[in-house]
């Protein structure tokens, strides 16, 4: 049996009623419901940090998807998109981007002046 620790938490009365109802409905103690909820939320947080959303798929229809979110999950999903680690371009634009990287345009006079100004200010 894994080592256990005691947790004391304050819940709004409606949440406590939900916890009690779930515990009775599932035939498990409240600790088991909390443990399952924590496991699910841990997985949801890991996915939300990557920009994924939590969704429920209908077993009878391939087209029915129900999204589930909480304020905290929504915040993490949005934060994942605020600083993207991956940019996906259509093939045409990607090819154009690579061509520009391989053969960059010469610097404009304005860019040259800006670089000279920056170099002077660093001395």
Q: What is the DSSP letter of 106?
A: P
> What does the chain come to in residues?
123
Decide the pairing of beta strands 54-57 and 65-68.
antiparallel
Q: What pLDDT score was predicted for residue 83?
A: 66
pLDDT digits (tens, 9 = 90+) for 41-85: 999 999 888 878 889 888 887 778 898 888 988 888 888 777 666
pTM of the model: 0.57
Confidence of residue 99 (pLDDT cuts 50, 70, 90): very high
Every domain of the chain and the residues it spans: 13-122
Query: Is residue 109's pLDDT more than 70?
Result: yes
Across the chain, what does the average pLDDT equal? 89
Q: What pLDDT score was predicted for residue 64?
A: 85
Residue 101 CA to residue 95 CA, distance in Å, equals: 10
């Amino acid at each position: 049996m894994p080592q256990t620790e005691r947790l004391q938490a304050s819940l709004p009365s409606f949440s406590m009623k939900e916890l009690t109802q779930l515990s009775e409905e599932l035939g498990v103690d409240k600790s088991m419901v909390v443990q399952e909820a924590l496991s699910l939320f841990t997985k949801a947080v890991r996915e939300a940090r990557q920009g994924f959303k939590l969704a429920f798929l209908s077993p009878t229809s391939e087209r029915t998807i129900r999204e589930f979110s909480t304020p905290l999950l929504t915040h993490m999903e949005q934060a994942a998109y605020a600083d993207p680690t991956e940019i996906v371009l259509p093939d045409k634009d990607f090819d154009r981007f690579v061509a520009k990287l391989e053969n960059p345009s010469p610097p404009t006079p304005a860019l040259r002046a800006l670089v000279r100004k920056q170099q002077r200010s660093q001395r």
